[in-house]
Amino acid sequence: MKRTERKNRKMNLYETDQEFMDRFTYFTEEVAKEEGQTLEEPTRYMAILATLVGSQSKEAFAMLLPKALKAGVTPVEVKEIVYQATDYLGFGRMLPFLMLVNEELEREHIALPLESQKTTTTEDRLEKGIQAQADIFGEHMKDAWKAGHINRWLASNCFGDYYTRKGLTLAEREMITFCFLLAQGGCEPQLIAHAKGNMNMGNDKAFLIKVVSQCLPYIGYPRSLNAINCVNKAAENQ
C-alpha cells in the first residue's frame, strides 16, 4: 500500500468514523501520559511496533511507523525489531512488516541496505548464542542446546543469529520478545520465561507493566491482563 493510500485511508476513518477515531486517539494519548505508567518515547514506540508485529496488525504498523521514526526510533532499531520477529512469528508472518519498513525508509530517502549489525559467523553462532542465553537466563542454559536439535537451533539461530546482533541491547531484545509473545496469545509459558529474562536484564516488574499498559490500546484488555498475570507469576520466582 502506497503512503498516499495509507494517508487517505487514515483520513477516511476520520470522515467515516470520526466519533470512534476521536475517542480512540484521546485514549491513546491518555495512556501515554498516565501517571506512573509512562515510558520514554523511543522505548514506548519500540514496544508498540513489536506488539503490532506480534498481533499481525499491518495497517496499524504502517500508520505508526513514521511516528516512531519521528519519536527517535532509529532505522536500525526498526529493522532489528522486525528481523528478530522471525524466530517468534516465522518468516511468513514477519515478511509483510519488513516490506513495510523498507518502503517507509525508501520514502525517507534512507539508503538500503543499512549498515551491517551482525557479530557472528556461521562457525561461531552456536557458541555465541549459548553465551547470550546464559547471559539472559543463567549459567544453567549453557547445556540446554544439548537436549535436542530444536534446542540447538534455538541457541544458534534465535540467539546466535539475532540476539548477538548490534542495534539493540539484550535488555531491549528481551523487551521486544516479551511484546511479540504477549501480542500473540497462547504463549503463556514462554511469556513467563521471557518476563523472567527481562527482569534478569534489568527490565523489572514495574517496567514490564508499563510496557503492557502502553501497548493495551493496540492489543486489547484480555491479552493485556493475561500478560500482567504472567509478569506477576514471573516476579514471584525472582
Range name among 5-14, 102-111, 124-133 with the lowest pLDDT average:
5-14
Question: Which element (helix H / strand E) includes 211?
Answer: helix 205-219
Is there a contact between 106 and 112 (Cβ–Cβ < 8 Å)?
yes
- The rounded distance, in Å, linking the Cα atoms of 141 and 156 is 13
Q: pLDDT at position 232, please? A: 98
**Over 90: is that where the pLDDT of 238 sits?**
no
**Over 70: is that where the pLDDT of 162 sits?**
yes
CATH topology of domain 3-117+165-236: AhpD-like (1.20.1290)
Question: How many C-beta neighbours within 10 Å does residue 124 have?
Answer: 14
- Span 28-81, pLDDT tens digits: 999 999 999 999 999 999 999 999 999 999 999 999 999 999 999 999 999 999
What residue ranges do the domains of the chain occupy? 3-117+165-236, 118-164
